[in-house]
Amino acid sequence: MEDIPPGDLDTAAGGDQNSSATVCLHLYPGMQDDANPDLDQGLAAQTAGASLKHSTTLTDRQRGNEVSALPATLDSTSLKHSTTLTNRQRGNEVSALPATLDTLSIHQLAAQGELSQLKEYLRKGENLVNKPDERGFTPLIWASAFGEIETVRHLLDWGADPHVLAKERESALSLASTGGYTDIVTMLLERDVDINIYDWNGGTPLLYAVRGNHVKCVEALLARGADLTTEADSGYTPMDLAVALGHKKVQQVIETHILKLFQTKKLE
């Protein structure tokens, strides 16, 4: 994948430089770099009123430097998969200035939940609803990644395909699971998407939900039959990952689910 310098993520999403700063979330242990909320708030205050610009952090793999996983250890090189997401997911609301809405792409409108403008855009042609950007992200994938539930609902009603995979097999379901957006996850599962879909390094929706410590999302995925035995390329299963990261509540949810499976099997 082509390296995208700071300020150019809008172009990658199909628009100009008029949106929010982005951050990088990692799937696996070893890179526990989730942002300090206080730091995020400070940065948000510093940039208030300024022109809205995108920046991006790409993985070593995307820059051509392969990162090899060490399944048995938790050092800094262990499976560093990143997904581009915005500060909005960390609670820093960033909205496009009204004067710039007309210049935003359909992907940016979907990501920011600008539903009125998005509807106008979609009326220009039905083929736009599944239009991919240069990374293969559709408006639905962007809206799912940003937790824009009303936008997701509208796109699905308009005919958006929830089964579309981006260039590195990213899916709307995986990105919604990454953010812990349980309502969106449920909505997508009702459209019969593959609950065990995997991306380029073996990450599944369940693995992403576990990584993010999203208990409700993990419960929803397990209730729908997500596979607990699936391993990422590192060899981590969802339980392995929960233990490695110390996510106690997620561990309890998984253990309870396994116990129910055994009890059900005994009754058969």
Q: Which domains does the chain have, with CATH numbers?
A: 9-267 (1.25.40.20)
Cα-based distances in Å from 14 to 11, 34, 56, 109: 5, 27, 15, 10
| pTM for the whole structure | 0.67
Contact between 79 and 236 under an 8 Å Cβ cutoff? The reply is yes
Backbone angles phi, psi at 106, to 5 degrees: -60, -30
CB within 8 Å of 48: residues ≥ 6 apart: none
Residue 29: pLDDT band (50, 70, 90) is low
Q: What percent of the chain has pLDDT over 70?
A: 62
- Residue 190, classed as helix, strand or coil, is coil
pLDDT of 265:
74
CB within 8 Å of 31: residues ≥ 6 apart: 76, 78, 80
**Tens digits of residue pLDDT in 68-119:** 332 333 332 333 333 444 434 434 344 544 547 778 999 999 999 999 999 9
**Tens digits of residue pLDDT in 155-198:** 999 999 999 999 999 999 999 999 999 999 999 999 999 999 99
